[in-house]
Structure 1
Amino acid sequence: MISPRAPRADRRPVVRSHHGRSFTDDYEWLRDKSSPDVVAHLEAENEWTAHETSHLAPLADAIFDEIKSRTLETDLSVPVRKGDHWYFTRTVEGSSYGVFCRAPVASPDDWVPPAVDPAQTLPGEEVLLDANVEAEGHDFFSLGTFDVSPDGRSLLWGVDTEGDERYTLRIVDLASRAVSDVDVIPNTAAGAMFSPDGAFVFYCTVDDAWRPDTVWRHAVGSSSGADVTVFTEPDDRFWVGVGRTRSRKYIVVEVGSKITSEVHLLDAADPMGEFAVVWPRVEGVEYDVEHVVLAGEDRLLITHNDGAENFEVVDVAAADPRGLRDVVVPASTDTRIDGVDAFAGHVVVSYRRDALTRVGILPLSGGIAAGGVLRVGEIVGYGALTELEFDEPLFDVGVSSNPEWTQPTLRLGFTSFVTPSTVLSVDVATRETTVLKRMPVLGGYRSEDYAQARDWATAADGTRVPISLVWKPGAVDESAPAPTLLYGYGSYEASMDPSFSIARLSLLDRGILFAIAHVRGGGELGRHWYDDGKTLTKRNTFTDFVAVGEHLVASGRSRPDGLVAEGRSAGGLLVGAAVNLAPDLFAGVLAGVPFVDALTSILDPELPLTVIEWDEWGDPLHDPAVYDYMSSYSPYENVRSDVGYPPILAVTSLNDTRVLYVEPAKWVAKLREVGAPALLKIEMQAGHGGVSGRYDAWRERAFEYAWVIDTATRGARDDLESSAPVAPTLDA
């Protein structure tokens, strides 16, 4: 049998010219996934990766078994009250997807979710949708919409079976279980919903570039051919979405680019009426809207950055939203306000400070003592904001599912590196906090066996970059460098907050140190942190990541031959650029659905979502300075022939509409051209989120972690082999 060898993609030069600059792209032909040559090449890449990683199978199987054995496979979520029912999701051992259920509440005052044995059913429990049944016969399955009509009689759900994030909507009568053969709406975006009266469905569709651009109104019981366009956004930089205020008083159309927002409201009592703009869009101004009622008057709470870099919250009259603004939560230089959730009697403010998420409660009838860090203005009807406190050095907390406008409790989600995902209930009146459920971790897990800490690196320009760390002291020799997985993202103001992972325990238990580099371009330290890592400051994202890696080495926590970098999507761009800058710093790079051919993609307005991205990266098509800047860091264009690259594993999906498979395919081809040990693993039936179904997802993560462990510990193994005594030979 002939052993397989690394595929070599044909070099078919295509010259790309802009602004008097030319770039010869030898592998652009790989973009045509309908080509038999391309499919054959991708299949050969998969065969080569399987061959090169075959020795990892026992370790990957062991990690998969560990994930499975630590997971309570038959379980259910904490029930959430909506109307007259408790809604929850069951998982069943051996089944890949959730079973969506509900049971009636005991009484109108029943606000305490029932404690349920996962093996038992609740009185009156009914199955709304068994995703396992719906997924039968499909290699991929994803729910993009799940909404029950306000009267509880109908279910609206949307399914994608390709991975391209286009969903087919259907409506089910929950009494008869009949699926309407009329209400079938193909090719929608995620997030459709019933109108508050249940007579209509509002949904979005996408244009040819996969941009949600149009909101539609569908009359329940009619053909989708009669659906009415209620809003279309012609500007390619903006996407649209449809939702409702928590009060259900208004239907909301949100329009947004990366830097500019516009909100349109419609009184839900008149779903066939006209939407009205709250604030007309102003370039660079972002805002969102919530509804409150004070002294019987409809008011709007608007979280915005108009003259407030880290955002502030103002109160305006719903009847005159462009009139007088009263500041409810003022802007702060050290606190980034993320948004508010309004209830009948209080408002919940979400924000972040010191690279950690925070939650505060603001009563709508003033008079309680002020607490926390944020203060509110002297406005009739608003009290003082009280911050909820938590006693861990690192954590992530946020508002969870709270669908009822008048509920007396607040549901939160809490987690940390060492605390499994926890559902908390806060009594709004007393601030008493109750743990409703903590994710079970089987096998004797104890949080005290693990440690988490915050560290800081110093970037080349003197900026301090936060690092979040977790490890198992009993598995790591803290007097010596440890094999390390360094994770980063650094785009879109997204924050990589410390959270628990069952799968990660398999790394920690084997002595791997896990670290998150909170680099610029993310949102961990406020809006300036984002602004300093986008467009013409984007290189800060990459140099911050390198600085964090160098700090981990200099501080003795890690060493270059044990430091593996991981990034996914825009994080793939991060690690791809970082390994070009400092190839000797890393033992390996794991790049998931990586955005590594950034300039080619952002130059082409016909590609999915490209024009929307110009606010994030700049517009290289029309601006030579942006072209040159992106050309200086785009990983594919900057593969070096003068250095030795560490092992690189790129994982992607054929049907990804956000980062096309061709980017990592081209990147790996070019890396291999310069002798880099690069591998490509491509899922032929999946999208941007990878494989669907929890067991397939566990197996995929187990494979990736097996590769990380093998790569991060190779240096230590080499040390042991080189220091072992040499057995004497007969000649000696």
Structure 2
Amino acid sequence: MHKNWNYMIIIGAMAISCSDKMTKNTASWPTATAPIAEKKMHNRIIHGDTIADDYYWMNDYFKKGPDSAEVIAYLEAENSYTSAMLQDTEKFQEVLFHEMKGRIKEKDESVPYLKNGYYYYSRTEEGKQYYKFCRKKGSLDAPEEILLDVDDMAEGYAYYAASGFSISPDNKLLAFGVDTVSRREYTIYVKNLETGELLPDKIDRTSGGTTWANDNKTLFYTAKNPVTLLSEKIRRYTLGLGAGGDVVVYEEKDNTNYIGVGKSKNGKHIMIYSGGTLSSEVHLLDADHPNGVFKVFQPRMKEVLYSVTALADRFLILTNDGAKNFQVMECPLDKTDKEHWKEFIPHREDVLVSDIDEFKDYIVISERKNGLTQMAVRSLKDGHQHYLDFGEAAYTVYPSTNVEYNTDMVRYGYTSLVTPSSTFDYNMNTKEKTLRKQQEIVGGYDADHYVTERLFATVADGTQVPISLVYKKGFPKNGNSPLLLYGYGSYGMSMDPTFNSSRLSLLDRGFAYAIAHIRGGEEMGRQWYEDGKMMNKKNTFTDFIDCANYLISQKYTSSDHLYAQGGSAGGLLMGAVINMAPELWNGVIAQVPFVDVVNTMLDETIPLTTNEYDEWGNPNEQAAYAYMKSYSPYENIEAKAYPNLLVTTGLHDSQVQYFEPAKWVAKLREIKQGNQVILFKTDMSYGHGGASGRFDYLKDVALNYAFLFKLEGITE
């Protein structure tokens, strides 16, 4: 067994108070000695700048280097330390887990959707972690056909994800992807739905999804690079031909782009999409002739994004060409170059157009205005347009499963911080809406017992940043209440207010929960994103800090009771704000945090790195390097008191490798001052998204909540 005395953990029998003048923490922790990672000399030299990186060796497990065993020993020692420090919360964690699990309806069924003569749905059974994917022919009263029993398929696996279910046009075959490692690298299988047997065809290292041509035997899929995990090729696979029927039909030469393949809803076109942060390109193929040659819709243009929607008589193009918040253009089916594009829906300064859902007689346009999502229905016959009304201050609405082209019905999802996820069918002709299902909270839930607010914080440069907030009625706004502030702020991903039944365990124990809609997301339009990326990235961090100060000034909380949480790029946010304003937070949860920005962006062998250049910059360029270095959490640790930290990661994470948080924690332990705790937990079986079962992930939530409750002195 590998031993390193630096990693030995000493647990005392007595608890000590870690309260002192350098930290707010009043929790009592066991007298455990944290692991001290070994330092090994490694210098990074670039642009004439030499930086010592004593924990660089921690990437050896990923790189299959000589220190692999020592890396695992260190991660396991950290896990043991975290368990020891939270040992007195184990029973409480168990209570929280069963409390949250108890709100989930174990025997449940999704709202069926109709596609090509069959109703498809998934259902869950009591005590089962996964689900069954089913269908019924022609009527919901017809006999059930179980297409995939994922509960059975997942037996014996620590992690199991089935994805990309795709039915052939003749309804006889099902293609699907399986990942048993949690690196988002799927093997595709094909099942004969008439015999129940798997075909011998098997395709490895894919994104998981497939697109059928209309001949019922040809599949298009996205192949991944085995090292970088980049989606770099679209391949055509013909069933029954094995390797001889597996042909590359498109190869992406720009390693900053992601690619994918799909099919138009009307079934006429196979579409390849290649896109990065700044530009994109679409290729088309007649779905009736899969062996044909893909045609470029419009060659990629510098700093122009576009996507294509196929109607019966024309194409619609959603583009930011000369339109910051995107506009919709149209062109003939046989003349797709930009010179033939004509305005269909004009650009608006105050409205971001984000998506189009097409139907035979209507299109549904997804938009954002004043930071809120909205849906517009537009008739293709007369051009008349109307909006759906929702009547809440802060909410989220989105198109749901809409696979039928010849229908007047659009299905959408609706939720808010106090409204459980709801599925509606809306008749675009009669304007009638029908609630098909609302998430049932077992044990009862009354939205009237909770309050949601929408606030605006004025940040340093005068910008007003929205904050969505929820708490239980009676929450005292006296500056002494605990509040958890969540943020992300990257990739133009908007953190919309949604319901979470697990969150009730936090609210019912006196916490408020808030989302800071900071720049780097797209809540307030495309400019909101551009003002929080590349050389504007620091706006994301200062926005979050200013939102926190605003909540304190309005007496929702105080720095003694304020907590922050973020994951992935939101973990970068956590690392940056504790460097910039460590005194603001009593505790911070950083999940799978992207905290070693410069070193990761310099290493093109790390999965997905080159795809990120348009988001963070390319540190091989001196200006980008200097700016990135000025905020990267790992680079900017100082000898000062940091808040209490809970850091989590997954050994098999493909998005943010385990060694980023491992190095960060080790360096924090070395340099920080004060008695505040740093807890680090690596899940040795999972990746970026955590556990795959529908209940197992709640154990991680219980751990997070136990950490917060311990710091607040809440014990039940």
Short-chain TM bin? over 0.9
Matches within 5 A, 1:368-447: 383-447=383-447
- Aligned Cα root-mean-square deviation (Å): 1.4
- For residue 126 of structure 1, the aligned residue among 145, 151, 163 is 145
Paired residues for 1:82-161 under 5 Å: 82-106=115-139, 114=140, 122-161=141-180
Does residue 62 (structure 1) correspond to residue 62 (structure 2)? The answer is no
Shift, 1:221, TM fit: 2.1
1:661 corresponding residue in structure 2: 658
In the other structure, the counterpart of 1:187 is 205
1:20-50 CA deviation, whole Å, 9 max, x = no partner?
A: 1111101010101141111111110110111
Q: Which amino acid aligns with 1:93?
A: E
Query: 1:225 deviation in Å?
Result: 4.7
Shift of 1:224: 3.5
- Once the two structures are TM-superposed, the CA of residue 275 in structure 1 deviates from its matched residue by 0.7
The residue type equivalent to 2:186 in the other structure is Y
Residue of structure 2 equivalent to 1:637: 635
Out of 348, 352, 373, the residue aligned to residue 364 of structure 2 is 348
- CA shift, 1:439, in A, is 0.5
Aligned position for 1:376: none
The match for 2:24 is none
Q: Please point out which of 52, 60, 81 is paired with 1:32.
A: 60
Once the two structures are superposed, what CA deviation does each residue of 1:477-504 show, in whole Å capped at 9, x if it has no partner? 2344320110000000000000000100
In the alignment, the residues of structure 1 paired with residue 542 and residue 180 of structure 2 have an alpha-carbon distance, to the nearest angstrom, of: 39
Question: What secondary structure sits across from 2:209 in the alignment?
Answer: coil
Mapping 1:595-614, distance limit 5 Å: 595-614=594-613
Higher mean C-alpha displacement, 399-408 vs 184-193:
184-193
- The secondary structure found in structure 2 opposite 1:606 is coil
- Alpha carbons 1:503, 1:702 under 8 Å: kept: no
CA contact (8 A) 1:169 1:184 kept: yes
Contact 2:178 2:188 in 1 (8 A): yes
Between stretches 579-588 and 688-697, larger displacement belongs to: 688-697
Deviation at 1:408, TM superposition (A): 2.1
The residue type equivalent to 2:191 in the other structure is: V
The total of aligned residue pairs comes to 677
Instruction: Please name the residue that 2:257 is paired with.
Output: 238
1:299 and 2:327 matched: no
Kindly indicate whether the alpha-carbon contact (under 8 Å) linking 2:362 and 2:408 is maintained by their aligned counterparts in 1.
no
Cα offset for 1:385? 2.0
Contact 1:414–1:421 under 8 Å retained in 2:
yes
Partner residue in 1 for 2:325: 310
Q: Is the 8 Å Cα contact of residues 654 and 687 (structure 2) preserved in structure 1?
A: yes
What's 1:574 paired with?
Answer: 573
Local SS of the residue matching 1:32 = helix
Q: Which moved more, 1:688-697 or 1:532-541?
A: 688-697
- Taking the aligned partners of 1:2 and 1:616, their CA distance within structure 2 comes to 43
Q: 1:201 aligns with which of 219, 223, 235?
A: 219
**1:358 alignment counterpart:** 374
Partner of 1:249: 268
AA aligned to 2:596 is D
Partner of 2:351: 335
What is residue 483 of structure 2 aligned with on the other side? 484
* Deviations 1:359-389 (CA, angstroms, capped at 9, x unpaired): 11111100xxxxxxxxxxxxxxxx1321111
Aligned to 1:377: none
Corresponding residue of 1:19: 47
The answer to whether the aligner puts 1:450 opposite 2:465 as a matched pair is no
Aligned equivalents of 2:215, 2:417: Cα separation in 1: 43
Q: Identify the match of residue 624 of structure 2 among 623, 626, 629.
A: 626
Asked whether the equivalents of residues 185 and 224 of structure 1 are also in contact (C-alpha less than 8 Å), the reply is: no
- Residue 226 (structure 1) shift: 3.0
Whether contact under 8 Å (2:239, 2:245) holds in the other structure is no
- Give the TM-score, by structure 2 length: 0.93
- Alpha-carbon distance, 1:58 to partner: 2.2
Moved more, 502-511 or 317-326: 317-326
**8 Å CA contact retained: 1:482, 1:559:** yes
Contact 1:563 1:587 in 2 (8 A): yes
State how far apart, in whole Å, the 1-side matches of 2:387 and 2:296 are: 33
The amino acid across from 2:385 in the alignment is: L
Secondary structure of the 1:436 match is strand
Paired with 2:362 and 2:505, the residues of 1 have a C-alpha distance of 42
Distance 1:420 1:94 in 2: 22
Structure 2 counterpart of 1:512: 511
Structure 1 segments unaligned to the other structure (5+ residues): 107-113, 115-121, 367-382, 718-732
Summarize deviations over 1:537-564 as a string: whole Å, max 9, x none: 1000000000011111111001101111
Instruction: Quote the offset at 1:144 in angstroms.
Output: 2.8
Per-residue Cα deviation, 1:303-344 (whole angstroms, up to 9, x for no partner): 000000000001111200124322121111111000211111
Match 1:44 to one of 69, 73, 77 = 77
What corresponds to 1:76 in structure 2? 109
Question: How far apart are residue 645 of structure 1 and its match?
Answer: 0.7
Q: Report SS of the residue matched to 2:696.
A: helix
Q: How does 1:457-476 map to 2 (within 5 A)?
A: 457-474=457-474, 476=475
CA distance in 1, matches of 2:47, 2:446: 59
Contact 1:452 1:469 in 2 (8 A): yes
Taking structure 1 as the reference length, the TM-score comes to: 0.91
Matched, 1:212 2:231: yes
Q: CA deviation at 1:95?
A: 0.6
| Deviation digits for residues 496-533 of structure 1 (CA, Å, limit 9, x no counterpart) | 00000010010011110000001110000001100100
Rounded Cα–Cα distance in structure 2 between residues aligned with 1:595 and 1:144: 26
Give structure 2 stretches of 5+ with no counterpart: 1-8, 12-31
1:512–1:709 contact (8 Å) kept in structure 2: no
1:60-102 per-residue CA deviation (whole Å, 9 max, x = no partner) reads 1121111111111100000010111110000111111111011
1:728 matched residue in structure 2: none
Amino acid corresponding to residue 269 of structure 1 in structure 2: D
Contact residue 184 and residue 224 of structure 1 kept, 8 A: no
> Do 1:395 and 1:415's aligned partners in 2 also have CA atoms closer than 8 Å?
yes
- Which runs of at least 4 in structure 1 moved beyond 4 Å after TM superposition? none
CA shift at 1:692, angstroms?
A: 1.2
Check the 8 A contact 1:246/1:341 in 2, yes or no: no
Q: Tell me how far 1:222 sits from its aligned partner.
A: 2.3
SS in 1 for 2:583: helix
Aligned AA (1:160):
D
Question: What percentage of residue pairs aligned between the two structures are identical?
Answer: 42
**Is the CA contact 2:176–2:208 (under 8 Å) kept in the aligned structure 1?**
no
Q: Render the CA deviation track for 1:410-463: whole Å, top value 9, x for unaligned.
A: 100110001100000001101111100001012120111111011111111111
Give CA deviations for 1:219-241 in whole Å, capped at 9, x if unaligned.
Answer: 12221453011100122111210
Aligned counterpart, 1:117: none
**Cα contact 2:471–2:511 (8 A) shared by 1:** yes
Counterpart check, 1:565 vs 2:556 = no
SS at match of 1:192: strand
Deviation at 1:354, TM superposition (A): 0.8
1:708 alignment counterpart: 708
Deviates more, 1:187-196 or 1:692-701: 187-196
Shift of 1:151: 1.2
CA contact 2:236–2:245 (8 Å) conserved in 1: no
Q: Is the 8 A contact 1:60 1:703 kept in 2?
A: yes
* C-alpha displacement of 1:390: 0.5
Partner Cα separation in structure 2 for residue 632 and residue 677 of structure 1 = 25
Match of 2:19 in 1: none
CA distance in 2: counterparts of 1:80 and 1:705, whole angstroms: 36
> Given that residues 130 and 693 in structure 2 are in contact (C-alpha distance below 8 angstroms), is that contact kept between their aligned partners in structure 1?
yes
